[in-house]
């Protein structure tokens, strides 16, 4: 699977928030290597980061005082995160089935 530029940017932002420096370095090495496919260990890091980002966006959506534009932007972010997560999970399932 290849990530779009937007998906790579979202994952990069999410990975930067992880407390695990080894995971951040592994992602950075992958992101700068311009590889076409995502190795399973890198996909696992991306999924962990996206899950945390999804929880963060969901919590932000529950805050009071958001205007309609903020709510729409967060909703779009959440949908995009879920889509990328789904694509990565599908890739992992296909890899596991092939083994």
Please, where are the H alpha helices in 1-99?
Answer: 5-16, 21-33, 40-61, 68-98
Q: How many structural domains is the chain composed of?
A: 1
Residue 14 has pLDDT above 90, yes or no: yes
Note the residue count of the chain. Answer: 99
Residue 97: per-residue pLDDT = 86
Domain hosting 52: range is 5-98
The encoded tokens of residue 33 equal 């290597």
Give pLDDT, residue 55: 97
Transcribe 57-76 into DSSP letters: HHHHHTSTT--HHHHHHHHH
For 37, the 3-state DSSP assignment is coil
Q: Looking at residue 1, what is its pLDDT?
A: 78
**pLDDT of residue 75 exceeding 80:** yes
Reported as a single tens digit per residue, the pLDDT across 27-63 is 999 999 988 789 999 999 999 999 999 999 999 999 9
Asked whether the beta carbons of 51 and 78 are under 8 A apart, the reply is no
């Amino acid at each position: 699977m290849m990530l779009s530029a937007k998906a790579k940017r979202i994952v990069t932002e999410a990975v930067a928030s992880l407390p695990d420096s080894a995971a951040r370095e592994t992602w950075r090495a992958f992101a700068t290597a311009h590889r076409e496919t995502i190795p399973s260990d890198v996909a696992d890091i991306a999924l962990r980061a996206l899950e945390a980002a999804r929880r963060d966006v969901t919590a932000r959506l529950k805050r009071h005082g958001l205007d309609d534009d903020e709510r729409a932007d967060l909703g779009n972010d959440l949908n995009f995160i879920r889509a990328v997560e789904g694509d990565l999970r599908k890739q992992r399932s296909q890899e596991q089935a092939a083994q």
